[in-house]
Copies of this chain bind each other. A is one copy, B any other.
Amino acid sequence: MAESEQFWLLPHEQLAWRSFIKLDSLLMSRLDVELVERHGLSLAEYEVLAHLSEAEGRALRMSALADLALVSRSGLTRRLEHLVARGLVIKEICPSDRRGMIARLTELGQGRLEEAAPTHVAGVRRYLISAFSVGELQQFTALMQAPLSELEEAGRPGSDCLSSLKGCS
């Protein structure tokens, strides 16, 4: 192996990596802007409402919702604050475990989500999905599963984010 391979990404690797971070950056900011402009919802807020809407009884425990929304527990608390203040979500004490809170989508929240959904769906289709043929989209989705498995497995050991680092340097 040439020395350079030990320290830097090879050109084809760098192209893959930088394409990914650029796609992420452009796609997320574009979808966020469209949602904020037209519906006053951030993409992050939209995803919270969407997960609640899909859930049994349109309600979820805070922890479960945080995991689905890929945000920390404290981050979710604050995201919900804004949505609760606007009446799109209500929080109830969980009857079976009074430590827990249940976030529930209100009728108003469901309505706002349904108003915003066409914008979000159109954006995802326009900027991501319609760039692919049906087969390419399946390929793209299938390809992402491998790194996802690797990452989920690496992040697994006891919530100790760094256990995989021990002795690796």
Contacts and interface: CB of A to CB of B under 8 A. Distances in A.
Contacts of A13: 124-125, 129, 137
Nearest to A128: B147
Interface string A9-51: 1001101110111111111101001100110000000010000
A84 B152 CA distance: 36
A56 B119 CA distance: 43
Interface stretch (A57-65, A93-101, A154-162): A154-162
A33 B162 contact: yes
B169 A38 contact: yes
A25 B121 CA distance: 20
Nearest to A138: B12
A165 interface: yes
A74 interface: no
